């Protein structure tokens, strides 16, 4: 029997985001960004959803992004550890306000440019291919104050101005780009995804779909610009994926699942195919939403289709058309996507259901729909780890989670023949959780000594999963 391995040149690696790892939030000329004012604790989700306005750091709150794991000062050490694991690729994001502190400055911040150049040089030193997210939950506060975030069309020009700078500065060092992290998240976490907070009485749907349209136009323009300024570059979109399974075979549940999936695929349909799907207009009509289509937008979307489809996958979702059942079986906790508990699956400590086969389902579904190369740019297990006195961390549960998901991905590649460019595990080094702001929800294969209250030495330690993943990469996924 033929050996099951990943294709030659498969981009194995890990993923982080600037706001969740860099820290140094006010150093070297960096401007304030949306993520800097999202606090730890009970108010976090309300701020993330745009339900509570918080545009500055208020007394009495703790802001985890301010220091995070201080990647800003530890990047050389961290990239050395990535190289030791054998990474071929490192997914990271650029903090918009490190480059343009007010979001659209005419003169970029030289120190910000220097920092990322050093990071990319360090990657290149070890033969690691950077994969850069242009905007990972990161809207400059100055633009939120001026425009109210992505609800305003002027955000598009500011974003393109920022793209122009980073493409010019880093085009020679970076080949792979992603326009927006988890673009569909803006429907659920509007401040996190689009710098939007809602005033009482505002039509939330109208604002969200308007912001979505602006991000989609910005994404299409960025794709076109990347191809012009950096010939040979590859630029993709990014979906928070995970299919909605119907709770039962009742046709009403099947329809409900299809409708809920469309809320997410809608974005990628535009980015990968270049136009709104036919049903989208009808849906918006029903919701009383008029899209702010300006002259030339349709053409821009058509001309700015992506080279690949990237996505995060943590779990599948489950739904029913029966409102009573939905209420009764609702997923516990602060779930971003409203869903019911799937009785066939176990859950993580944070209530995320574990479904490795769902990754194979997702890969197949996305390829059937888009026929573009795929890139798994986030997957991993958030869990509480224990650092032993001798500096070891025995995270067998994480190894099991990753093994099962990589087996499913390998089946999608080897058995189903789906073209997948690479796999970057989320939070390859422990970092701040986006939804909860916790440090104790750890994803890393590298442990960082930092706690939820902001204490800790910031020292780095290799977990058991570090050595396991090192072998996975060494054998190109033959030994999982």
User: What Å distances lie between residue 367 and 109, 117, 235, 309, 346, CA to CA?
Assistant: 40, 34, 17, 9, 27
Segment interacting with ligand BGP (CB under 6 A) among 145-153, 388-396, 404-412, 429-437: 429-437
Which residues fall within 8 angstroms of residue 413, CB to CB, at 6 or more apart? 6, 7, 420
CB of 271 to ligand BGP, least distance (A): 16
CB nearer to ligand BGP: pick between 109 and 312: 312
378 part of the active site = yes
CB of 138 to ligand BGP, least distance (A): 10
Is residue 240 at the binding interface for ligand BGP, with CB under 6 A as the rule?
A: yes
Q: Distance between CA 26 and CA 29 in Å, rounded?
A: 7
User: What Å distances lie between residue 432 and 62, 70, 209, 245, 370, CA to CA?
Assistant: 13, 11, 29, 30, 32
Answer for the pair 10, 149: CB distance below 8 angstroms, yes or no. Answer: no
278-287 vs 251-273: helix crossing angle, rounded to 10: 110
Is residue 95 at the binding interface for ligand BGP, with CB under 6 A as the rule?
A: no
Q: How many residues bind ligand BGP (CB under 6 A)?
A: 14
Catalytic residue among 129, 182, 215, 438: 182
CB nearer to ligand BGP: pick between 191 and 276: 191
Segment interacting with ligand BGP (CB under 6 A) among 77-85, 138-146, 383-391, 431-439: 431-439
| Residue of 219, 264, 312, 353 that binds ligand BGP (CB under 6 A) | 312
Q: Which of 359, 378, 369 is nearest to 262 (CA)?
A: 369
Catalytic residue among 129, 169, 378, 438: 378
Is residue 433 at the binding interface for ligand BGP, with CB under 6 A as the rule?
A: yes
Is residue 435 at the binding interface for ligand BGP, with CB under 6 A as the rule?
A: yes
CA dihedral 311, 44, 159, 32 (to 10 degrees): -140
Segment interacting with ligand BGP (CB under 6 A) among 116-124, 200-208, 290-298, 435-443: 435-443
Q: Which of 108, 113, 90 is nearest to 169 (CA)?
A: 113
Phi, psi of 170, deg, nearest 5: -115, 0
Is residue 362 at the binding interface for ligand BGP, with CB under 6 A as the rule?
A: no
Q: Which of 107, 106, 134, 131 is nearest to 120 (CA)?
A: 131
What would the two tokens of residue 11 be?
Answer: 């981009």
Is residue 441 at the binding interface for ligand BGP, with CB under 6 A as the rule?
A: yes
| Residue of 39, 236, 382, 444 that binds ligand BGP (CB under 6 A) | 382
CB nearer to ligand BGP: pick between 230 and 238: 238
| Residue of 6, 14, 17, 174 that binds ligand BGP (CB under 6 A) | 17
Q: Which residues pair with 234 in a beta bridge?
A: 176
CB nearer to ligand BGP: pick between 79 and 92: 92
CB of 175 to ligand BGP, least distance (A): 21
> Alpha helices of 136-294 — where are they, by DSSP H?
141-147, 154-170, 190-194, 204-229, 251-273, 278-287
Q: Distance between CA 445 and CA 86 in Å, rounded?
A: 13
Q: What part of residues 171-230 is at the interface with ligand BGP (CB under 6 A)?
A: 181-182
Site string for ligand BGP, 102-141 (x = CB under 6 A): ----------------------------------------
CB of 95 to ligand BGP, least distance (A): 13
CB nearer to ligand BGP: pick between 300 and 312: 312
Question: Terminus-to-terminus CA distance in the chain, angstroms?
Answer: 17
349 part of the active site = no
Q: Which residues pair with 235 in a beta bridge?
A: 177
Q: Which of 148, 152, 123 is nearest to 50 (CA)?
A: 148
Q: Would you please indicate which residues are annotated as catalytic (active-site) residues? A: 182, 378
Which residues of the chain form contacts with ligand BGP (CB under 6 A)? 17, 20, 181-182, 240, 312, 378, 382, 426, 433-436, 441
């Amino acid at each position: 029997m033929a050996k099951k391995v990943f294709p030659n040149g498969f981009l194995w690696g890990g993923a982080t985001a600037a706001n969740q790892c860099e820290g140094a939030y006010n150093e070297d000329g960096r401007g304030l960004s949306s993520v800097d004012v999202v606090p730890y604790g009970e108010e976090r989700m309300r701020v993330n959803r745009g339900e509570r306005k918080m545009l500055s750091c208020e007394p009495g709150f703790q802001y985890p992004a301010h220091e995070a794991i201080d990647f800003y000062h530890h990047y050389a050490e961290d990239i050395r550890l990535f190289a030791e694991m054998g990474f071929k690729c490192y997914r990271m994001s650029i903090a918009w306000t490190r480059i343009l502190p007010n979001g659209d400055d005419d003169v970029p911040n030289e120190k910000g440019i220097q920092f990322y150049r050093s990071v990319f040089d360090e990657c290149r030193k070890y033969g690691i291919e950077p994969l850069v997210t242009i905007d990972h939950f990161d809207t400059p506060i100055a633009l939120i104050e001026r425009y109210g975030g992505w609800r305003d069309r002027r955000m598009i020009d500011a974003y393109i101005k920022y793209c122009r700078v980073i493409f010019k500065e880093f085009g020679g060092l970076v080949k792979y780009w992603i326009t927006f992290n988890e673009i569909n998240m803006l429907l659920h976490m509007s401040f996190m995804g689009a710098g939007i907070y809602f005033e009482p009485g505002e039509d939330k749907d109208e604002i969200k779909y308007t912001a979505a349209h602006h991000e989609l136009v910005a994404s299409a323009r960025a794709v076109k610009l990347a191809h012009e300024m950096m010939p040979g570059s590859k630029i993709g979109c990014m979906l928070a994926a995970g299919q909605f399974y119907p709770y039962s075979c009742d046709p009403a549940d099947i329809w409900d699942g299809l409708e809920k999936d469309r809320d997410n695929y809608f974005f990628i349909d535009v980015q990968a195919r270049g136009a709104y799907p036919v049903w989208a207009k009808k849906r918006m009509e029903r919701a009383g939403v008029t899209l702010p289509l300006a002259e030339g937008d349709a053409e821009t979307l058509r001309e700015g289709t992506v080279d690949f489809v990237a996505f995060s996958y943590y779990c599948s979702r489950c739904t029913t058309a029966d409102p009573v059942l939905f209420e009764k079986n609702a997923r516990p906790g602060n779930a971003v996507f409203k869903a019911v508990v799937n009785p066939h699956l176990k859950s993580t400590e944070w209530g995320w259901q574990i479904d490795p086969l769902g990754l194979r389902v997702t890969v197949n579904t996305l390829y059937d729909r888009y026929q573009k190369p795929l890139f798994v740019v986030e997957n991993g297990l958030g869990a509480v780890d224990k650092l032993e006195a001798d500096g070891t961390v025995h995270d067998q549960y994480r190894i099991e989670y990753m093994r099962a998901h990589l087996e499913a991905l390998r089946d999608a590649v080897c058995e189903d023949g789906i073209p997948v460019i690479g796999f970057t595990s989320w939070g390859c080094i422990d970092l701040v959780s986006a939804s909860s702001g916790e440090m104790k929800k750890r994803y890393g294969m590298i442990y960082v000594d930092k706690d939820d209250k902001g204490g800790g030495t910031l020292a780095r330690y290799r977990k058991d999963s570090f050595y396991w993943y090192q072998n996975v990469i060494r054998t190109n996924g033959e030994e999982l």
